[in-house]
Amino acid sequence: MEYRRLGSTGMYVSEISYGNWITHGSQVETESAIKCVREALNQGITTFDTADVYANTKAEVVLAKALKGVRRESYELFTKVYWPTGPGKNDRGLSRKHIMESCHASLKRLNTDHIDLYQLHRFDFETPLEESLGALDDLVRQGKVMYVGFSEWTAEQIARGLKIQDQRGYNRFVSSQPQYSALWRVIEAEVVPLSQREGIGQIVWSPMAQGVLTGKYLPGKKAPAGSRATDKKSGAAMISRWMKDDVLEAVQLLKPIAESVDLSMSQMALAWVLQNPNISSAIMGATKPAQIKDNVKASGVKLPPEVMKAIDGAIGKVAERDPKKNVSPNPRP
């Protein structure tokens, strides 16, 4: 495993990080989740990403159980706030009330006294940005949060936030958590250039396009039983955008390219993401320890220019690049 600095900070993160969005507390039983986390640690992964909303707050609890007994200083713990965590009108969004209450609840569930990176899970159109950023800054000054970031913000929203932080002397954003893969490139035109200028690193999710880039989904055939595409509780709606024959046919063209560099398609998908110098870490999920052992081999891989060109030639026409696709709900759920 190799490590990179998170943006312009002095904190290092593992190139491959472990996320538990649709696994812990829902798709994977606690015992299996613990085995996956322990294997991640064995493979050198030190960065763990979760959120209060995952599995209706259960994912944080399971992650805490899995990390019990591990020296706290030896790993980086990331979580998020925004999506509903209860039935009330204030159980969501980025108001000062919800940010503070959600942070305290996450600290309890995660069984820790601090969160290494606290992220605004989406942009909140209903709360003054100054209010949200002031609450984040207070959490940093209280020692409950080390660094702050956001997920799925547009370049314009990022710029607005940084301006307020600079004007008020608040702690600045150091990270962005967008969806990014060889099929989903919407951050490249605007978010990445701005982030590079401002010292913000990308911690990307779905680097394998919800599993499509593994090549297991074949054009003209039904999705394998038990796969994400068949499970309505684990992202079937999101993966549906790629379940089209033209996309699946293009993805199959990647197989000989991966073989030419002695990588699995999963490894090549992760390695492709990590070629972008603005990427600090790529988040992977797992339901079995074997998946982790396989995927971490992507760390440190340098894909030759001709391979990067071949990948773009294979799937470039079906890749999504429109920066307008990077959106947050308005109004919030």
Instruction: Let me know if residue 112 belongs to a domain.
Output: yes
Measure the CA–CA gap between 299 and 282, rounded to whole angstroms: 10
- Find the catalytic residue in 3, 12, 18, 54: 54
Centre a 10 Å sphere on the Cβ of residue 314 and count the other Cβ atoms it contains: 20
Active-site annotation holds for 3: no
> Total domain count for the chain?
1
Q: How many whole angstroms separate alpha carbon 63 and alpha carbon 23?
A: 10
Residue 254 lies in a domain: no
Report which of 115, 113, 119 is spatially closest to residue 94, judged by C-alpha positions.
119
Per-residue pLDDT tens for 205-246? 999 999 999 998 898 777 666 666 556 665 667 788 888 999
Let me know if residue 279 belongs to a domain: yes
Residue 193 lies in a domain: yes
Contact yes or no for 221/252 (Cβ under 8 A):
no
DSSP helix/strand/coil, 16: strand
Question: Can you list the alpha helix ranges (DSSP code H) found in 11-95?
Answer: 30-42, 58-67
Q: Which two tokens stand for residue 225?
A: 């039983």
Dump pLDDT digits (tens) for 270-329: 999 999 999 999 999 988 999 999 999 999 999 999 999 999 999 999 999 999 999 999
Backbone angles phi, psi at 109, to 5 degrees: -65, -35
The identity of residue 320, as a single letter, is: E
Per-residue pLDDT tens for 160-173? Answer: 999 999 999 999 99
| Residue 159 CB coordination number (10 Å) | 14
Residue 35 CB burial class (10 angstroms; 0-12, 13-18, ≥19): middle
Share of the chain above pLDDT 70, in %: 94
| pLDDT attached to residue 13 | 98
Nearest to 18 by CA among 309, 234, 292: 292
Q: Do the beta carbons of residue 79 and residue 119 sit within 8 Å?
A: yes
Residue 211 Rama label (left phi>0; alpha psi -120 to 50; beta): left
Inside any domain, residue 196: yes
- The pLDDT, as a whole number, for residue 238 is 76
Tell me if the bond preceding 87 is cis, omega within 30° of 0: no
pLDDT of residue 161: 98
H-assigned helices in the chain: 30-42, 58-67, 96-110, 129-141, 155-168, 191-198, 236-239, 245-252, 254-260, 265-274, 289-295, 305-315
- Quote the pTM value: 0.94
d(CA 248, CA 25): 30
CA distance 11 to 84: 30
Look at residue 29 and tell me if it is in a domain: yes
* HSE-CB of 240 using CA atoms within 13 angstroms: 8
Please give the structure tokens belonging to residue 113: 């006294």
**What residues form DSSP beta bridges with 3?**
14
Q: Confirm whether 90 is domain-assigned.
A: yes
DSSP class of residue 5? E
The answer to whether residue 239 sits within a structural domain is no
CATH number, domain with residue 8: 3.20.20.100
Would you place residue 31 in the very low, low, confident or very high pLDDT band (cuts 50, 70, 90)?
confident
Segment 78-111, tens digit of pLDDT: 999 999 999 999 999 999 999 999 999 999 999 9
Residues 6+ apart with CB under 8 A from 221: none
Q: Please name the residue that has the structure tokens 């699995």.
A: 264
Q: For the residues of 105-118, what is the DSSP string, one character each?
A: HHHHHHT-S-EEEE
**Is the distance from CB of 117 to CB of 175 less than 8 angstroms?**
yes
Domain extent at residue 123: 3-209+265-301+317-325
Q: What distance in Å separates the CA atoms of residue 104 and residue 92, rounded to the nearest whole number?
A: 14
